[in-house]
Amino acid sequence: MPNASKVSRSPAWLSHIWHLPDKMHWMDPLPAPHRRGIIVAVVVILLAFLWPAPSPQRAPVTPLQSGSEGTEVPLQANIADDFPQSSSTQGDSRGQWRNYTIASGQTLAQLFRDNNLPVNDVFAMAQVEGSDKPLSTLNAGQRVKIRLNAAGVVTGLTLESAGREILFTRQADGSFIRAQ
């Protein structure tokens, strides 16, 4: 009998795995090929879940050059130093003024977030902004001045709306009032 003396070409562990579904009695109603197919599908699904995901590739951010034309929108507000600051505001004990320009589609909350300022201050100012809603209706290119004290706390905000300046000032209790 040449077949009886023939040595098995597959390793014992592979044979054990191949016949593993035969020992699973809860799969008895299914034929053997279906049982093996289910086990292979489970292994493939487990491998798919456990396979490491590639790290996300981020596109390089190029700043919008002044004088260049295009449809690019800056990702955050630019600090503009083109406003001459009077000596009274520079030496003001309540803080230093910083100038920002609103980008297209940017909200005041996004401007604060992008510049690491407390967004809750925007919400506090919005409670007293009035019916003309100057904080909610910002336009691209609009200038906003924010006053920060030495501790980095927002003590004031000025913006131009309809040809006039509107000032929001922090009170001693931490709330804001609309001064103009």
What's the confidence (pLDDT) of residue 45?
92
What's the confidence (pLDDT) of residue 61?
54
What separation, in Å, do the N-terminal and C-terminal C-alpha atoms of the chain show? 107
166: pLDDT strictly greater than 80: yes
Claim: this prediction has a pTM higher than 0.75: no
Question: In the structure encoding, which two tokens stand for residue 103, read together?
Answer: 């980008």
What's the confidence (pLDDT) of residue 92?
58
What's the confidence (pLDDT) of residue 90?
42
Of the candidates 91, 65, 87, 94, which has an alpha carbon nearest to the alpha carbon of residue 78?
A: 65
Can you say how many angstroms the Cα of residue 76 is from the centroid of all Cα atoms in its chain?
Answer: 12
Decide the pairing of beta strands 176-178 and 164-170.
antiparallel
What's the confidence (pLDDT) of residue 102?
87
- Tell me the CA distances in angstroms from 144 to 100, 133, 157, one per residue in order: 5, 15, 7
Q: What is the pLDDT of residues 92-110, one digit of tens each?
A: 566 789 999 888 888 888 9
What are the residues whose beta carbons fall under 8 Å from the beta carbon of 94, sequence distance 6 or more? 147, 149, 155, 156
Q: What percent of the chain has pLDDT over 90?
A: 3
Q: What percent of the chain has pLDDT over 70?
A: 72
- Residue-range domain boundaries for the chain: 11-50, 78-178
3-state SS assignment for residue 16: helix
What's the confidence (pLDDT) of residue 18?
75
Q: What is the pLDDT of residues 22-62, one digit of tens each?
A: 777 777 788 888 888 888 888 899 888 888 877 776 666 55
What's the confidence (pLDDT) of residue 145?
92
H/E segment holding residue 5 = helix 2-5
Give the residue ranges of DSSP H helices in 27-164: 32-50, 87-90, 108-114, 119-126
Q: Does the domain made of 78-178 have the CATH classification 3.10.105.10?
A: no
Distance separating alpha carbons of residues 78 and 81, to the nearest angstrom = 9
